[in-house]
Amino acid sequence: MESRIRGDLQVKPAIFFDLGNTLLYYQGDRVAIELEAYQALAQSLSTSGIPIPTKKFLKRFQNVMQSYYRRRTTTLIEETTIHQLRCVLSEFGQENVPDLILRKALDQMYQITEPHWQLDPDTQTCLTTLRAIGFHLGLISNASDSPNAFRLLRMHGLYSYFSTILISSVVGYRKPHEKIFLSALRTCPNAIGSHIFMVGDLMSTDIVGGYRNGMQTVWLSKHADPLEDAESDPQPKPDLIFSSLAGLAAWMQEQYAA
């Protein structure tokens, strides 16, 4: 990619980041932690007076969530975790559970998983550098529960960096669906395609979505899981590849800093 635009006041660059395994990374046994989280959710419902057969509920909720995760990779529709919970509860005759009880139960569930998301040591320095250069900073995250995503951003001191935050459970569509990317692009009307970047760890969502919507694509390999994309169709090659956020920040500074 060629760009030598130092001093060009007409250029307003923009950069959008993925969240999980890009700015944050996960530590721990996901399967064991997920089970513990589901148990916390069931316990919260019981404590709130919702009569459910715990073992049957846990098995059914786990199966429904797994089915939901598979389904959304094809439909790209984000139905949300709370919707899945309502569906399972209705199967057990609990169709009118108050929103406050559902929210409390989900928050108890995410209290188990959230501490396992760790901040990449280069994240804040990278974002600070890009903001100082004059980038419009945005976030595009696939997440089935927006309160969970926003808590992670605040827990790790990231919320204030972003002028644009788009969560799939709010938009209703997941990356690489064009609707979430077009929503992002509308937030930076003064930028042009060759100076709008999408940064992420997944070829099938971040790189494909950015490519299809005219953005420069940046694959961050540090926390990428090759198995995540192993069964995907052939993907377009990213415009840029970095092994760390520090490398990304250094390259952007060289290209854009006056």
Q: Mark which of 74, 93, 115 sits at the end of a domain.
A: 115
**Average pLDDT for the chain:** 93
Q: What is the pLDDT of residue 257?
A: 85
User: What number of residues does the chain have?
Assistant: 258
CB 20 within 8 A of CB 117: yes
Q: DSSP letters along 159-170, please?
A: GGG-SEEEEHHH
Instruction: Give the range among 74-88, 102-116, 139-153, 230-244 with minimum mean pLDDT.
Output: 230-244
CATH number, domain with residue 246:
3.40.50.1000
Q: What is the pLDDT of residue 258?
A: 64
Instruction: Give the range among 2-6, 146-150, 165-169, 191-195 with minimum mean pLDDT.
Output: 2-6
Domain that holds residue 71: 30-115
Percent of the chain with pLDDT over 70: 92
In the chain, what is the straight-line distance between the N-terminal and C-terminal CA atoms, in Å?
19
- Are residues 157 and 81 located together in one domain of the fold? no
How far is the C-alpha of 221 from the C-alpha of 21, rounded, in Å? 9
Instruction: Give the range among 74-88, 97-111, 166-180, 184-198 with minimum mean pLDDT.
Output: 184-198
Taking 80 as the threshold, does the pLDDT of residue 3 lie above it?
no
- Are residues 160 and 248 located together in one domain of the fold? yes
What average pLDDT score do residues 153-173 get? Answer: 98
Higher pLDDT, 8 or 140: 140
- Are residues 106 and 124 located together in one domain of the fold? no
* pLDDT (tens digit per residue) in 13-45: 999 999 999 999 999 999 999 999 999 999 999
* pLDDT (tens digit per residue) in 233-246: 667 899 999 999 99
- Are residues 95 and 206 located together in one domain of the fold? no
Q: Mark which of 93, 115, 137 sits at the end of a domain.
A: 115
Q: Mark which of 88, 115, 142 sits at the end of a domain.
A: 115
| Pairing of the two strands 164-167 and 196-200 | unpaired
**Helices and strands (DSSP H and E) totals, the chain:** 10, 8
- Are residues 106 and 125 located together in one domain of the fold? no
- Are residues 200 and 107 located together in one domain of the fold? no
Higher pLDDT, 60 or 8: 60
Phi, psi values for residue 220, rounded to 5°: -100, 115
Token code pair at residue 207? 């790189």
Closest CA to 134 of 6, 2, 256: 256
Report the number of distinct structural domains present in the chain.
2
Give the DSSP H or E segment for 73.
Answer: helix 54-75
Q: What is the pLDDT of residue 231?
A: 53
What average pLDDT score do residues 192-213 get? Answer: 95
State which amino acid sits at residue 146: S
- Are residues 85 and 141 located together in one domain of the fold? no
Phi-psi region of 256 (alpha: psi -120 to 50; beta: other; left: phi over 0): alpha
